[in-house]
Chains A and B, each alone.
Chain A
C-alpha cells in the first residue's frame, strides 16, 4: 500500500513570495490533515478535511494561508505572501475517517523563507 505522498520535499523562497504544497493521501482515506511543524516543536494542526469538506481550520492563518481538497482526494496548501516565521516543515497526514485515530504522515515539505 502506497503511503502519503507530498511534494516538493524542499522549498526555499524569499519573503513575500508565494508557495504551494501538494499532498496525495492513502487511497480510500477520507480525512486529510495539514500540519505545520516548527523546529523543536510538535505538529500544529492547520486544517482538517473530511472528504472535500473542511472540519476544522481554526488555526489556519486565513489572511495568508489557503487549502483545498476539491475532489476529496489530493490537496494543496498555499501560502501567499510568505513571512520569515512560516519557515517550518509542512506535514500532510491522512486517516480512514475522523473516527479512526491512527494518522499516517507523509515525509513533509521543508520550507525555508529568506
Chain B
C-alpha cells in the first residue's frame, strides 16, 4: 500500500531552525513535494525533490533520500507567519498516477 508519516505537531521559537520529517511507502515513487497551508487557506507549493539531495529556496530547504524513503523540510530564521500546517506529498506512478498527501504537521512558533 501507500502511506506517509509525518509528526502531527512541532513547536519552535521565532528565529530558530526547525526540521519536519516525512517517511513514505509507495510502489512507484516519483517525487516528494512540500506544501504550506495556513488556517482557512489553500495549500501553497514550497518545494519538490525528484532526486536525492538538498533543494534550497530562500529560508526553506527540502531534502530527499530515496534509498531511505525519507525526506525533510527545513525552515530557517523562523517567523511568526510560518505558523501553519506543512504537508509532504508523494507522486506514485506505480500502477497509475497518484498523488498522496500526508496528514500534515502543525508548526507552532513561540515568540
Contacts and interface: CB of A to CB of B under 8 A. Distances in A.
B15 interface: no
A105 B44 contact: yes
Interface residues of A, number: 24
Contact of B98 (A35, A45, A91): A45
Contacts of A56: 96-98
Contact of B99 (A33, A40, A106): A33
A101 B48 contact: yes
Given A48-B99, A56-B98, A41 B104 contact: yes
Contacts of A59: 98
A80 interface: no
How many residues of B sit at the interface, in one of the four size bands?
Answer: 20 to 34
A105 to B, nearest CB: 4
Contacts of B70: none
B42 A48 contact: no
B48 A102 contact: yes
Contacts of A91: 42-43
Interface of B: 31, 33, 41-45, 48, 50, 87, 89, 91, 96-104
Interface of A: 33, 35, 40-45, 48, 55-56, 58-59, 91, 93, 98, 101-108
